[in-house]
């Protein structure tokens, strides 16, 4: 299959596919006589793996490690679990952080009564961290 087909099949931008090849995340495919990239099922599965992992928020370097494990079925799988567990922790931290931020924003937004910027509580609150209830 050509790059456009692979793009549609995996929901990945064409430029992104070429980018993944450039950084060594996808192996260079065969080429047609016209120098077009020609992909097979293996490429498709690998790209799906990459996309899915990116959708789950893994970094490129984490995905590199996960792909490496996937390429070596005889290795110990503990590393995959460590990567995923650490990532889960990071996601949980991010959620906690954003929740604190949301609370603070809700307090700030709720205070605007309209009127002039000089009296605006939103602008005042942004200038004065001391008004915040919690760290964020």
In eight-state DSSP terms, residue 113 is -
DSSP string for residues in 8-40: HHHT--HHHHHHHHHTTSSPPPEE-TT--EE--
Q: Does residue 54 interact with DNA by CB under 7 A? A: yes
Should residue 86 be labelled a site residue for DNA when binding is judged by CB under 7 A? Answer: no
**3-state SS class at 91:** helix
Per-residue contact flags (x/-) with DNA for residues 8 to 37, judged by CB under 7 A: -----xxxx-xx------------xxxxxx
Residue 8 or 111: which CB sits closer to DNA?
Answer: 8
Are the CB atoms for 125 and 112 separated by under 8 Å?
A: no
Q: Beta partners for 37?
A: 31
Give residues 17-76 in contact with a second copy (rule: CB under 8 A). Answer: 45, 48-49, 52-53, 55-57, 66, 69-70, 72-76
Q: Are 105 and 97 in contact (CB under 8 A)?
A: no
Please, what is the minimum distance in Å from the beta carbon of residue 114 to DNA? 27
On the CB side of 40, CA atoms within 13 Å amount to 7
Binding site for DNA (CB under 7 A): 2-5, 7, 13-16, 18-19, 32-37, 54, 59-61
Binding site for a second copy (CB under 8 A): 45, 48-49, 52-53, 55-57, 66, 69-70, 72-78, 80-81, 84-85, 87-88, 91-92, 94-95, 98-99, 101-102, 104-106, 108-109, 112, 114-120, 122-123, 126-129, 136
């Amino acid at each position: 299959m050509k790059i456009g087909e692979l793009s549609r099949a995996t929901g990945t931008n064409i430029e992104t596919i070429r980018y993944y090849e450039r950084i060594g995340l996808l192996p260079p495919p065969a080429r047609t006589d016209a120098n077009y990239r020609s992909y097979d099922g293996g490429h498709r599965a690998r790209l799906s793996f990459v996309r899915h992992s990116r959708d789950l928020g893994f970094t490129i370097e984490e995905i590199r490690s996960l792909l490496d494990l996937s390429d070596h079925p005889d290795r110990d799988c503990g590393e995959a679990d460590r990567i995923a567990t650490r990532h889960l922790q990071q996601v949980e931290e991010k959620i906690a952080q954003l929740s604190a931020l949301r609370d603070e924003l809700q307090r700030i937004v709720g205070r605007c009564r309209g009127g002039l910027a000089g009296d605006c509580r939103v602008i005042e609150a942004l200038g004065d961290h001391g008004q915040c209830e919690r760290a964020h």
